[in-house]
Amino acid sequence: MVYNEDLSVATTYTPPYAASRVHHGVAASLNWIYVVGGESEEGELLNHCSRFSLTDLVWHTMSELDSPRSHHTLICIENYLYVFGGYCLNWATNYSPASDSILTYDICTNKWNNSNHKLPFGLVDTCALLLTHKGIYIFHSKYLCLIMFAGGLEEYGDEMRPSDCALLYDPTEEDGENFKFLPKLPMPLISVALACDTVENQVFLCGGRMSVYGSELDDISNKVFCFNFSTNCWTQVTVLDFPRYNAFSFVLYDRLYVIGGITIDEVIENTPSSLLTSLINVDHEDSVMVGQITTTDNDQNISPNLLEQFSVGNYIRPNILQAPFRPCHFSEGWQLRSSSSTSSNNLHRTSTQSRPKRLKLSLAKYENHLPVISRCYAAYCIAPYLNCMK
């Protein structure tokens, strides 16, 4: 499913041969979107990989992984893919332990290889972020290729527990100093979303899950934290209207966005119907105000019908999720600074930023204006990467 720039219109492109999957890795680079591994809806680990061309809008096959893998993370740097951690199937034992391995894929040769580097420990459901394509200043030095990890599950004896670990990985370093540990997260979290703001040399951490098995509202984070590389510390900057985990976040044109992810029924139940209605109809209301469209009986019935679909009694839950979990269909955004504050002279300023200003984003719609009530809960936005190519 491909969205337009303001997240208001969606178009679906379905792979004709690939099985439905969850807990897979997704990355984008050079007009391609890559999908690696994952699990089928029946829980079978997959080694199938494919890529989608943004030029001709067609899916293509790739070489398969040597072993099925899920709950890993995927990063693309120029002509190489990097797979980190996850659960990896051991063919001999038919067991899928947490992995500390790193795989690389050469896009030019269509081949997978095991990297000589390894994670400091096995990591599952961590979030990895390529900090920038143009360089970022960290510890007073400029780095052109750094990957940041935050949270996830790590082994504690015989069990997996949420991690408060944050670290940097330099794939170009060859002297054994590939990983640098950062100050710990404010709390242990699973499946967070990270977004890089290169103007202020900072990273935002959004949402996440605080418990492996918990299904209560208190088990899902609504907090948005910021890590500033100049001060080397974490601070909370705002909150989510819809607590969620497994979402995707990004910074584009001085705005922070959070899309997709998983929330629970209680979040929707506790959200005032007036707010849901405004989010469903924000673009429709704006168009009416400027006289661009004429309302019809069908338009006026959209909100009540949608509100009924979101209610617990009427909500059609995807098979891959059990109650009370559900996909989060609402996007959230914040204006980080005024447009006048992004000049080249301000790239390294140290003045305190004001609190981000919340944006009002509508529920995404298809080209025929019908709302998107998707069964998927994973989202990946290529906008920051395409923006870097301009």
Is the pLDDT reported for residue 357 higher than 90?
Answer: yes
**For residue range 35-63, what is the model confidence (pLDDT) as tens digits?**
999 998 788 899 999 998 888 888 899 99
Round to whole Å and give the CA distance between 221 and 204: 14
pLDDT-based confidence at residue 297 (cuts at 50, 70, 90): very low
Lowest mean pLDDT among 68-72, 219-223, 363-367: 363-367
What are the sequence ranges of the domains in the chain? Answer: 2-263+327-388
Is the pLDDT reported for residue 109 higher than 90?
Answer: yes
Q: What is the mean pLDDT of residues 102-114?
A: 96
Q: Who has greater pLDDT, 363 or 373?
A: 363
- Report whether CATH 3.20.20.70 matches the domain 2-263+327-388: no
Q: Who has greater pLDDT, 346 or 381?
A: 381
Distances in whole angstroms, Cα of residue 353 to Cα of each of 136, 185, 199, 236: 19, 21, 12, 13
pTM higher than 0.75 = yes
pLDDT for residue 316 = 80
Round to whole Å and give the CA distance between 153 and 102: 16
pLDDT for residue 156 = 87
Contact 162, 189 (CB under 8 A): yes
pLDDT for residue 381 = 59
pLDDT for residue 288 = 33
pLDDT-based confidence at residue 21 (cuts at 50, 70, 90): confident
**For residue range 127-155, what is the model confidence (pLDDT) as tens digits?**
999 986 555 555 555 566 789 999 999 98
Q: Who has greater pLDDT, 196 or 373?
A: 196
Is the pLDDT reported for residue 15 higher than 80?
Answer: no
Rg (CA), the chain: 21
Average pLDDT, the chain: 81
State yes or no: cis peptide before 324, omega within 30 of 0: yes
Contact 167, 213 (CB under 8 A): no
Lowest mean pLDDT among 204-218, 268-282, 340-354: 340-354
pLDDT-based confidence at residue 387 (cuts at 50, 70, 90): very low
**For residue range 192-216, what is the model confidence (pLDDT) as tens digits?**
999 999 888 899 999 999 998 888 8
